[in-house]
Amino acid sequence: MSIVSDIRTQITTNLASYTAFKVSSELPFDSSGIPLYVKNMKTVYVDDALESKVQLYRTLDQGEVYQTDTVVNAFLCVDAKNQPNNIDTVIANILNARTAITGTQVNESSVESEIEDDVITYTFEYNITKIS
């Protein structure tokens, strides 16, 4: 499975007991460029992965060792005036989805929030580094 689908599956598992929240299998933007996560609040959307691969070094037998850095973003919007009581644990569970990816050198997640027009948008970033 891919990193994106592993993260999406883990978020779904982690949020299973929070019935007010859903996880979408769609990308976060529709054809007109309007973010779906703003239209469908309390729904987590996971974006495609951005990957970069660089050669770390060449071994004595002319083999190559590569570092692959992958960044995956996820988005969630909630009403700023009427936030769910359990939003802190929901955020923690979404951040914890990074544990679904194993065999990594770096496996980090972070969240940023932004308030606009009474809507809080949480942007989650997963940074995954693998050596191969």
What pLDDT digit, counting tens, does each position of 87-130 carry? Answer: 999 999 999 999 999 989 999 999 999 999 899 999 999 999 99
List the chain domain ranges: 3-131
Which class for 42: exposed (0-12), middle (13-18), buried (19 or more C-beta within 10 A)?
middle
Q: Higher pLDDT residue, 80 or 59?
A: 80
Query: Other C-beta atoms within 10 Å of 7: how many?
Result: 26
- Give the contacts of 127 (CB within 8 A, at least 6 positions apart): 69, 70, 71, 106, 107, 108, 109, 110
Q: Higher pLDDT residue, 71 or 55?
A: 71
- Each residue of 3-49: pLDDT tens digit? 999 999 999 999 999 999 999 999 998 877 779 999 999 999 999 99
- Tokens 């050198």 sit on residue: 105
Average pLDDT over residues 49-67: 88
Percent helix, strand, coil in the chain, to 5, is 25, 45, 35
- Cα(107)–Cα(98) distance, integer angstroms: 6
pLDDT of residue 14: 97
Q: How confident is the model at residue 56 (pLDDT cuts 50, 70, 90)?
A: confident
Average pLDDT over residues 52-75: 90
Model pTM above 0.85: yes
Which CATH entry fits the domain spanning 3-131: 3.30.2000, 1.10.10, 3.10.450, 1.10.3470?
A: 3.30.2000
